[in-house]
Amino acid sequence: MSEIITGPRPLLAQPWPAGAGPFAGQVAIVTGSESGIGRETARALCAAGAAVVLNGRNAERLEHTRQSFADAGLTVVSCVADVTDYASCERLVAAAIQAFGRLDVLITNASISQRAYFADMQPEVFQRVFDSNVYGSVYPLKAALPHLIRTRGSVTFISSISALNGMPSGSAYCAGKAALSNLAHTLRLELDHTGVHFGVVHIGFTQNDADKRVLDAAGQPVLIAHRPPRWQKTQAGVAAIILRHIRRRRKRTVISVLGKLIVLLHTFFPRLGDWIVLTTTRRLRHFYE
Protein backbone atom coordinates (compact mmCIF):
# COMPACT_ATOMS: atom_id res chain seq x y z
CA MET A 1 0.00 0.00 0.00
CA SER A 2 1.21 3.48 -0.85
CA GLU A 3 0.36 6.75 0.85
CA ILE A 4 0.78 10.26 -0.53
CA ILE A 5 0.78 13.06 2.04
CA THR A 6 -0.42 16.33 0.55
CA GLY A 7 -1.51 18.49 3.46
CA PRO A 8 -0.74 19.18 7.11
CA ARG A 9 -1.37 16.41 9.59
CA PRO A 10 -1.39 16.52 13.41
CA LEU A 11 1.99 16.16 15.07
CA LEU A 12 2.98 14.04 18.03
CA ALA A 13 2.66 17.03 20.31
CA GLN A 14 2.91 15.47 23.77
CA PRO A 15 4.77 12.40 25.00
CA TRP A 16 2.63 9.43 25.96
CA PRO A 17 2.54 8.37 29.62
CA ALA A 18 5.50 6.27 30.74
CA GLY A 19 5.20 2.73 29.41
CA ALA A 20 2.47 3.69 26.95
CA GLY A 21 2.35 4.83 23.33
CA PRO A 22 2.21 3.06 19.98
CA PHE A 23 5.93 2.16 20.14
CA ALA A 24 6.02 1.17 23.81
CA GLY A 25 8.43 -1.71 24.41
CA GLN A 26 10.03 -1.33 20.99
CA VAL A 27 13.65 -0.50 20.20
CA ALA A 28 14.64 1.61 17.22
CA ILE A 29 17.85 2.62 15.46
CA VAL A 30 17.74 5.89 13.51
CA THR A 31 20.88 6.49 11.47
CA GLY A 32 22.00 10.06 11.03
CA SER A 33 20.05 11.12 14.12
CA GLU A 34 22.57 13.50 15.61
CA SER A 35 20.81 16.33 13.75
CA GLY A 36 18.02 17.29 11.35
CA ILE A 37 15.16 15.01 10.36
CA GLY A 38 16.86 12.01 11.95
CA ARG A 39 17.07 13.76 15.33
CA GLU A 40 13.41 14.78 15.24
CA THR A 41 12.33 11.30 14.14
CA ALA A 42 14.23 9.82 17.07
CA ARG A 43 12.60 12.35 19.39
CA ALA A 44 9.14 11.44 18.09
CA LEU A 45 9.84 7.71 18.55
CA CYS A 46 10.92 8.31 22.14
CA ALA A 47 7.80 10.39 22.79
CA ALA A 48 5.73 7.48 21.42
CA GLY A 49 7.30 5.04 23.88
CA ALA A 50 10.32 3.60 22.05
CA ALA A 51 13.88 3.23 23.25
CA VAL A 52 16.14 4.69 20.58
CA VAL A 53 19.76 4.30 19.52
CA LEU A 54 21.04 7.60 18.17
CA ASN A 55 23.73 7.57 15.50
CA GLY A 56 26.08 9.94 13.73
CA ARG A 57 29.72 10.47 12.76
CA ASN A 58 30.34 13.67 14.74
CA ALA A 59 30.98 12.51 18.30
CA GLU A 60 30.54 15.94 19.87
CA ARG A 61 27.27 16.73 18.15
CA LEU A 62 25.95 13.22 18.78
CA GLU A 63 26.71 13.48 22.49
CA HIS A 64 25.00 16.87 22.65
CA THR A 65 21.86 15.35 21.13
CA ARG A 66 21.99 12.31 23.41
CA GLN A 67 22.38 14.50 26.49
CA SER A 68 19.47 16.74 25.50
CA PHE A 69 17.27 13.67 25.04
CA ALA A 70 18.38 12.17 28.35
CA ASP A 71 17.75 15.48 30.13
CA ALA A 72 14.19 15.36 28.79
CA GLY A 73 13.72 11.90 30.29
CA LEU A 74 13.82 10.04 26.99
CA THR A 75 15.27 6.52 26.73
CA VAL A 76 18.29 6.70 24.45
CA VAL A 77 21.83 5.55 23.92
CA SER A 78 24.18 6.69 21.17
CA CYS A 79 26.76 5.11 18.91
CA VAL A 80 29.29 6.90 16.72
CA ALA A 81 29.34 4.95 13.46
CA ASP A 82 29.92 5.57 9.76
CA VAL A 83 27.08 3.72 8.03
CA THR A 84 29.12 3.28 4.84
CA ASP A 85 31.43 0.96 6.83
CA TYR A 86 29.98 -2.48 7.57
CA ALA A 87 32.03 -3.10 10.70
CA SER A 88 30.76 0.20 12.12
CA CYS A 89 27.19 -0.89 11.38
CA GLU A 90 27.76 -4.14 13.24
CA ARG A 91 28.87 -2.09 16.25
CA LEU A 92 25.77 0.09 15.91
CA VAL A 93 23.43 -2.88 15.98
CA ALA A 94 25.42 -4.46 18.82
CA ALA A 95 24.95 -1.26 20.83
CA ALA A 96 21.17 -1.61 20.48
CA ILE A 97 21.18 -5.26 21.54
CA GLN A 98 23.55 -4.64 24.44
CA ALA A 99 21.53 -1.70 25.75
CA PHE A 100 17.99 -2.95 25.16
CA GLY A 101 18.12 -6.64 24.20
CA ARG A 102 16.17 -6.42 20.95
CA LEU A 103 15.57 -4.44 17.78
CA ASP A 104 12.17 -3.64 16.24
CA VAL A 105 12.64 -0.61 13.99
CA LEU A 106 15.42 0.48 11.65
CA ILE A 107 15.24 3.86 9.92
CA THR A 108 18.10 4.51 7.50
CA ASN A 109 18.16 8.28 7.37
CA ALA A 110 21.89 9.13 7.12
CA SER A 111 22.95 10.38 3.69
CA ILE A 112 24.98 12.98 1.80
CA SER A 113 23.52 15.26 -0.86
CA GLN A 114 25.14 17.35 -3.58
CA ARG A 115 25.03 20.53 -5.68
CA ALA A 116 27.03 19.55 -8.75
CA TYR A 117 26.44 18.68 -12.39
CA PHE A 118 27.59 15.23 -13.47
CA ALA A 119 30.06 16.50 -16.10
CA ASP A 120 31.86 18.54 -13.44
CA MET A 121 31.95 15.98 -10.64
CA GLN A 122 35.09 14.17 -9.64
CA PRO A 123 34.47 10.39 -9.77
CA GLU A 124 35.32 9.95 -6.09
CA VAL A 125 32.72 12.59 -5.15
CA PHE A 126 30.02 10.76 -7.11
CA GLN A 127 31.01 7.54 -5.36
CA ARG A 128 30.95 9.18 -1.93
CA VAL A 129 27.43 10.56 -2.43
CA PHE A 130 26.13 7.35 -4.00
CA ASP A 131 27.67 5.14 -1.32
CA SER A 132 26.16 7.18 1.49
CA ASN A 133 22.69 6.77 0.02
CA VAL A 134 22.92 3.10 -0.99
CA TYR A 135 25.44 1.36 1.26
CA GLY A 136 24.36 3.71 4.04
CA SER A 137 21.10 1.73 3.99
CA VAL A 138 22.38 -1.69 2.88
CA TYR A 139 25.03 -2.07 5.58
CA PRO A 140 22.88 -1.15 8.61
CA LEU A 141 20.11 -3.39 7.32
CA LYS A 142 22.45 -6.31 6.69
CA ALA A 143 23.77 -6.06 10.25
CA ALA A 144 20.30 -5.63 11.76
CA LEU A 145 18.31 -8.14 9.70
CA PRO A 146 18.62 -11.23 11.96
CA HIS A 147 17.30 -9.21 14.92
CA LEU A 148 14.49 -7.65 12.88
CA ILE A 149 13.41 -11.09 11.68
CA ARG A 150 13.11 -12.23 15.31
CA THR A 151 10.76 -9.36 16.12
CA ARG A 152 8.98 -9.23 12.72
CA GLY A 153 10.15 -5.64 12.76
CA SER A 154 10.08 -2.68 10.42
CA VAL A 155 12.62 -1.14 8.04
CA THR A 156 12.14 2.32 6.53
CA PHE A 157 14.51 3.77 3.95
CA ILE A 158 14.44 7.56 3.86
CA SER A 159 14.43 8.62 0.22
CA SER A 160 13.52 11.85 -1.56
CA ILE A 161 10.97 13.14 -4.04
CA SER A 162 13.95 13.84 -6.30
CA ALA A 163 14.30 10.06 -6.66
CA LEU A 164 10.90 9.91 -8.37
CA ASN A 165 12.09 11.93 -11.37
CA GLY A 166 15.67 13.02 -12.05
CA MET A 167 16.86 16.40 -10.79
CA PRO A 168 19.67 18.38 -12.49
CA SER A 169 22.73 18.85 -10.26
CA GLY A 170 21.74 15.80 -8.23
CA SER A 171 22.82 12.78 -10.29
CA ALA A 172 24.49 10.68 -7.60
CA TYR A 173 21.94 11.63 -4.95
CA CYS A 174 18.94 10.89 -7.18
CA ALA A 175 20.42 7.60 -8.36
CA GLY A 176 21.15 6.44 -4.83
CA LYS A 177 17.75 7.42 -3.46
CA ALA A 178 15.97 5.81 -6.42
CA ALA A 179 17.86 2.57 -5.81
CA LEU A 180 16.28 2.31 -2.36
CA SER A 181 12.80 1.88 -3.84
CA ASN A 182 13.83 -1.13 -5.93
CA LEU A 183 15.82 -2.50 -3.02
CA ALA A 184 12.77 -2.33 -0.75
CA HIS A 185 10.59 -3.99 -3.41
CA THR A 186 13.07 -6.82 -3.88
CA LEU A 187 13.41 -7.39 -0.14
CA ARG A 188 9.63 -7.56 0.27
CA LEU A 189 9.60 -10.42 -2.23
CA GLU A 190 12.64 -12.25 -0.88
CA LEU A 191 11.70 -11.88 2.79
CA ASP A 192 7.92 -11.99 2.63
CA HIS A 193 7.89 -15.12 4.79
CA THR A 194 9.66 -13.31 7.65
CA GLY A 195 6.95 -10.75 8.31
CA VAL A 196 9.46 -7.88 8.27
CA HIS A 197 8.08 -4.61 6.91
CA PHE A 198 10.09 -2.79 4.23
CA GLY A 199 9.01 0.73 3.36
CA VAL A 200 10.29 3.88 1.68
CA VAL A 201 9.48 7.48 2.58
CA HIS A 202 10.09 10.07 -0.14
CA ILE A 203 10.75 13.35 1.65
CA GLY A 204 10.20 16.73 0.01
CA PHE A 205 11.65 20.12 0.87
CA THR A 206 12.21 20.35 4.61
CA GLN A 207 13.58 23.02 6.92
CA ASN A 208 17.27 22.36 7.53
CA ASP A 209 19.59 22.99 10.43
CA ALA A 210 21.59 26.18 9.93
CA ASP A 211 24.84 24.24 9.47
CA LYS A 212 23.44 21.84 6.84
CA ARG A 213 25.89 21.37 3.97
CA VAL A 214 26.04 19.36 0.73
CA LEU A 215 28.98 18.53 -1.56
CA ASP A 216 30.05 20.47 -4.63
CA ALA A 217 31.76 18.95 -7.68
CA ALA A 218 35.12 18.82 -5.90
CA GLY A 219 33.71 17.33 -2.71
CA GLN A 220 33.76 20.56 -0.70
CA PRO A 221 30.84 21.34 1.65
CA VAL A 222 28.55 24.13 0.42
CA LEU A 223 25.15 25.51 1.40
CA ILE A 224 22.11 23.63 0.18
CA ALA A 225 20.35 25.12 -2.88
CA HIS A 226 17.69 27.74 -2.24
CA ARG A 227 14.23 26.47 -1.38
CA PRO A 228 11.30 28.87 -0.84
CA PRO A 229 10.32 28.70 2.86
CA ARG A 230 6.64 28.28 1.97
CA TRP A 231 7.53 24.98 0.29
CA GLN A 232 9.29 23.57 3.34
CA LYS A 233 7.83 21.27 5.96
CA THR A 234 9.10 21.34 9.52
CA GLN A 235 11.40 18.57 10.67
CA ALA A 236 8.89 17.61 13.38
CA GLY A 237 6.12 17.44 10.78
CA VAL A 238 8.16 15.10 8.60
CA ALA A 239 9.03 12.98 11.65
CA ALA A 240 5.34 12.56 12.48
CA ILE A 241 4.65 11.34 8.94
CA ILE A 242 7.53 8.85 9.15
CA LEU A 243 6.11 7.41 12.38
CA ARG A 244 2.65 7.05 10.87
CA HIS A 245 4.23 5.31 7.87
CA ILE A 246 5.88 2.78 10.20
CA ARG A 247 2.79 2.22 12.33
CA ARG A 248 0.71 1.50 9.23
CA ARG A 249 3.52 -0.55 7.70
CA ARG A 250 3.23 1.31 4.42
CA LYS A 251 5.20 0.30 1.37
CA ARG A 252 5.63 3.88 0.20
CA THR A 253 4.84 7.34 1.51
CA VAL A 254 5.33 10.41 -0.66
CA ILE A 255 5.37 13.70 1.22
CA SER A 256 4.07 17.06 -0.10
CA VAL A 257 1.94 18.36 -2.94
CA LEU A 258 5.05 18.65 -5.10
CA GLY A 259 5.82 14.99 -4.47
CA LYS A 260 2.29 14.04 -5.51
CA LEU A 261 2.64 16.10 -8.69
CA ILE A 262 5.96 14.43 -9.53
CA VAL A 263 4.39 10.97 -9.14
CA LEU A 264 1.49 11.99 -11.40
CA LEU A 265 3.71 13.45 -14.12
CA HIS A 266 6.31 10.67 -13.99
CA THR A 267 3.60 8.00 -14.23
CA PHE A 268 1.22 9.45 -16.80
CA PHE A 269 2.90 12.44 -18.45
CA PRO A 270 6.69 11.84 -18.38
CA ARG A 271 7.44 14.11 -21.36
CA LEU A 272 5.57 16.98 -19.72
CA GLY A 273 7.48 16.37 -16.50
CA ASP A 274 10.81 16.56 -18.32
CA TRP A 275 9.73 19.75 -20.11
CA ILE A 276 8.91 21.39 -16.80
CA VAL A 277 12.29 20.43 -15.32
CA LEU A 278 14.22 21.63 -18.39
CA THR A 279 12.30 24.91 -18.42
CA THR A 280 12.93 25.59 -14.74
CA THR A 281 16.60 24.67 -15.21
CA ARG A 282 16.96 27.46 -17.75
CA ARG A 283 14.85 30.07 -15.95
CA LEU A 284 15.50 29.25 -12.28
CA ARG A 285 19.09 28.05 -12.19
CA HIS A 286 19.49 29.16 -8.56
CA PHE A 287 16.89 26.53 -7.67
CA TYR A 288 19.35 23.81 -8.70
CA GLU A 289 22.68 25.55 -8.13
Q: Are 53 and 30 in contact (CB under 8 A)?
A: yes
Q: Are 58 and 36 in contact (CB under 8 A)?
A: no
Exposure letters 247-283 (e unless 16+ CB within 10 A, then b): eeebbbbbbbeebbbbbebeeeeeeebeeebeeeeee
d(CA 53, CA 103): 10
Q: Are 98 and 90 in contact (CB under 8 A)?
A: no
Active-site annotation holds for 135: no
- List the one residue out of 98, 32, 19, 76 whose CA is nearest residue 242: 32
Task: Catalytic residue, from 86, 117, 139, 173: name it.
Answer: 173
Catalytic residues: 173
